[in-house]
Amino acid sequence: MLTLGTLAGRAELELAFAGGVSSASHGAVRVVQVATLTLPQLLEGEPQRRLAPGTLVLLTEVPFRLRGRAEVALETLVEQLALDDCAGLVAHVASGDHQPFPHGVRALAAAVGLPLLTTTAPLRQWTVVRRGLQDRRLAVVERQAAQLSALVEELPARLADPGAMQRVADGLARALRAQVLVSEPERVLAAAPATAADALARALPRGPGEGTGPGPWTRIVPLGLTGEGDARLGPQGAGPRGEPDAVHGGATFGRGGSTLDGGGSTSGVAASTSGQGGSTLGAEAPTSGQGGSTPGREDASTPGQDVSTLGAEAPTSGQGRSTPGQDGAVLAVTRPAPSFDDADLRLLDHAARLLGLLDQARREHRTATDTAYAVRRAAVELLLDAEVDKARRVMAAQAPGLLSPEAVRAFVVDVPATHRDAVLRRCETATAGLALAVADPREDRRVLVVEPVRTGRADDRVATALTRLVAGLGSDASLGGSGVHRMAMLADAVQEAVTAQRFALRRPDAVALSAQSTDLIDVLPAPAARRWARAFLRPVLRPLDHWELLRETLPTALAYPYSVAARRLHVHRNTVRRRVARAAELLEMDFSTVTDRIAVGFALDVLAAERQVPARPAGPFADPAPTLHDLLTTPEATAWAESLLCGARGDHRGLLATATAWLAHDAHVEPAARALGLSEFTVRSHLRALEAHTARDLGSLRGLRDLQFALHILTGKVDITDLRGGLCATP
């Protein structure tokens, strides 16, 4: 750091304070550049520009006495140098001259606090000083460019990058060789190294008069800070009149005037000031152990200044800029040594602005994310209430077409409640554009994933992504999935997924996806299955309005008691009873029996993907409708049944015999137990074991259907209802 005292101590400069002023008064004033000015140039009105703070002006061609016009011009120069916060005025005099400054000039300089000095050294010595300052400035500029380049390399590809703040903090810590903390009053946003949070915690102000620096040099800057005035520097030695010493080189004035080294002429000041257009940074404060007076001007920062008072005034809203630190987010930096120079301060300014943008982007992204999540959650709630059209309208702006399919499957991810939010974000990322992921409002451990399924498109991307995600979460996570349901039956799909998730807890991989190539409808030949379903339901397909009512009512009424179905359908239970009775009459079936309910429910599921029934019946040359027995004897159906009952067939307890008797007695435990000669408790335990083996909920119509059809395919001991209400058994 170059000061007036340092220069006065160089014997080759022959520099002395004039007018009886001691070096103790101004010896610590920092010098950032040397500018030469001849007396003729002064008389012509130079300098015509403001000078950089910390400039030491060397006045040459000075006569033994300055009088008249020269004295007036010199007084004007003293006033200008004081206003420009210059380091001082040096008069170059011949050897033996002692006092070139008139009494009036000395009195004025003392009044404005501008040091006056004289030198008798050759001008080439001052050229060396000027070049040294220029070299130092160049080194600082190169270092600052390298630091800025390193900071720019940490810029994120997108502002909402969650790791962007940490990378910028890491880069700043490397560049400054300091500890860096970015924080809000309630939490840490980034810390480099990780221990910086503890090291800087005491420095962060929590209220008036609080906060003490953890080390000799600490700076606290509100994020997004933009400068509007002079930078307040710390005890490094510069007050409002000076900048750090390694900022500026030399400058000359005048038109055609010679430089000190005779290398041509320059005009103006070849330097920029941090006070103009620069950033207003927080003050730099050493701890009380670094006491002592601050060299420099009388209003410079002083050692031991309370860190809680540091910082700069925020620009007014009229300037079109956000108020820095309005949310309490700050950048805090500390290091034991050396103190921060101007290049460091500028880098801090740039980093604070960048971090402010990242913080603003983070907040705006979080707001947008929260809004988008609220929309998704509302859409899922509407789907659970069977309000499909309303859900589509809600999602139309955010994800056009996502809910346009008529079918849906559900997944349930179960994790510890403390991890659910993080897992939810990962589910959102893994299924973006393919499904809706929301937190289950009824269970704080669950994440619901709703995947719309397009007809004829086999797509297991969602299931695969969730399976991979759960595998990476460890033993505390499990995944359950459902088969494909109509969109309006999402509640059933979720319940099936919840049941599958419970089954998943007993599996090594903690995954049970009943929709993962294990649904019977998926393995049947679709055209033949649809022909069978239309033939089976032909009595209720016409008229069309009658069919629409039954299509909405029957799946729910067959799966639930009439009172529950009425609540789900938002109609009176007598209406449900009347519609079901009408359908049973037309189909010539008894819905009190399991086999008839299963057959009708299966036919409805097969047609669920069709938006409407064909406008006219099949012609005489159309392919005949197959029987259900024909569909279930295909190789694909046989493989499906073997896969479903593989575990149960190997169980030594005779689970399949229990299931056969149970289905033969319309799923009643008591008569099945009597027929088998077992206790009701044993029958129930067998059924629970069967649920675990098949990953099916035997309390649901779909679970009963899969069990009945699989037993029919493999054992032939379970009858099924086929066309025209007849029972079919495998020969």
Last residue of a domain, one of 369, 384, 399: 384
Whether 625 is covered by a domain: the verdict is yes
Q: Is the dihedral of CA 334, 335, 340, 344 positive or negative?
A: negative
- Structure-token pair, residue 461: 């991307």
Last residue of a domain, one of 516, 533, 561: 516
Whether 20 is covered by a domain: the verdict is yes
Exposure on the CB side of residue 149, measured as CA atoms within 13 A: 6
Tell me: pLDDT of 459 over 80. Answer: no
Residues in the chain: 731
Would you state the pLDDT for residue 712? 92
Candidates 706, 707, 708; CA nearest to 720 is: 708
Name the amino acid, one letter, at 507.
R
Cα 11 → chain centroid: 61
Last residue of a domain, one of 384, 402, 431: 384
pLDDT in tens, 645-704: 877 887 888 899 999 999 999 999 999 999 999 999 999 999 999 988 887 888 888 889
Whether 286 is covered by a domain: the verdict is no
Range of the domain at 96: 1-153+236-273
Least confident range from 176-190, 295-309, 489-503, 591-605: namely: 295-309
Whether 656 is covered by a domain: the verdict is yes
Q: Is the dihedral of CA 424, 465, 462, 510 positive or negative?
A: negative
- The angle, 0 to 180 degrees and rounded to 10, between the axes of the packed helices 655-664 and 680-694 is 110
Would you state the pLDDT for residue 154? 64
Q: What whole-number distance in Å separates Cα of residue 38 and Cα of residue 230? A: 30
Looking at the fold, whether 558 and 648 belong to one and the same domain comes out as: yes
Looking at the fold, whether 303 and 435 belong to one and the same domain comes out as: no
Looking at the fold, whether 604 and 724 belong to one and the same domain comes out as: yes
Would you state the pLDDT for residue 126? 87
> CB within 8 A of 731, min separation 6: which ones?
716
Looking at the fold, whether 85 and 2 belong to one and the same domain comes out as: yes
Tell me: pLDDT of 41 over 60. Answer: yes
Would you state the pLDDT for residue 292? 36
pLDDT in tens, 488-536: 889 988 987 887 787 788 777 888 886 334 568 867 888 888 899 888 8
CA angle 161, 167, 171 (to 5 degrees): 150
Would you state the pLDDT for residue 157? 60
Name which residue leads in pLDDT, 719 or 75: 75
Least confident range from 152-166, 393-407, 584-598: namely: 152-166
Looking at the fold, whether 171 and 213 belong to one and the same domain comes out as: yes
Exposure on the CB side of residue 626, measured as CA atoms within 13 A: 15
Looking at the fold, whether 574 and 528 belong to one and the same domain comes out as: yes
Whether 443 is covered by a domain: the verdict is yes
> CB within 8 A of 263, min separation 6: which ones?
none
Whether 446 is covered by a domain: the verdict is yes
Would you state the pLDDT for residue 216? 54
Tell me: pLDDT of 213 over 70. Answer: no
Looking at the fold, whether 29 and 10 belong to one and the same domain comes out as: yes
Looking at the fold, whether 531 and 510 belong to one and the same domain comes out as: no
- Structure-token pair, residue 379: 């859409």
Would you state the pLDDT for residue 239? 40
Whether 685 is covered by a domain: the verdict is yes
Would you state the pLDDT for residue 392? 93
Looking at the fold, whether 373 and 423 belong to one and the same domain comes out as: no
pLDDT in tens, 16-29: 888 667 667 788 88
Tell me: pLDDT of 300 over 50. Answer: no
Q: How large is the average pLDDT for residues 213-220?
A: 65
- The angle, 0 to 180 degrees and rounded to 10, between the axes of the packed helices 342-384 and 388-395 is 160
Looking at the fold, whether 485 and 617 belong to one and the same domain comes out as: no
Query: Would you say the pTM of this structure is higher than 0.75?
Result: no
Tell me: pLDDT of 600 over 80. Answer: yes
Q: How large is the average pLDDT for residues 8-19?
A: 84
Candidates 358, 6, 348, 39; CA nearest to 172 is: 348
Please give the biggest Cα pair distance in the chain.
134
Name the amino acid, one letter, at 68.
G
Whether 284 is covered by a domain: the verdict is no
467 and 431 in contact (C-beta within 8 Å)?
A: no
Tell me: pLDDT of 234 over 70. Answer: no
Would you state the pLDDT for residue 496? 79
Residues paired with residue 512 on neighbouring β-strands, in sequence order = 480
Would you state the pLDDT for residue 658? 94
Looking at the fold, whether 332 and 211 belong to one and the same domain comes out as: yes
Question: How do 478-481 and 436-439 pair as beta strands?
Answer: unpaired
Q: How large is the average pLDDT for residues 32-47?
A: 86
Number of folded domains that form the chain? 4
Looking at the fold, whether 206 and 129 belong to one and the same domain comes out as: no
Tell me: pLDDT of 614 over 80. Answer: no
Sheet holding 15-17, edge to edge: 15-17, 116-119, 88-92, 55-60, 33-38, 251-252
Q: What whole-number distance in Å separates Cα of residue 470 and Cα of residue 479? A: 7
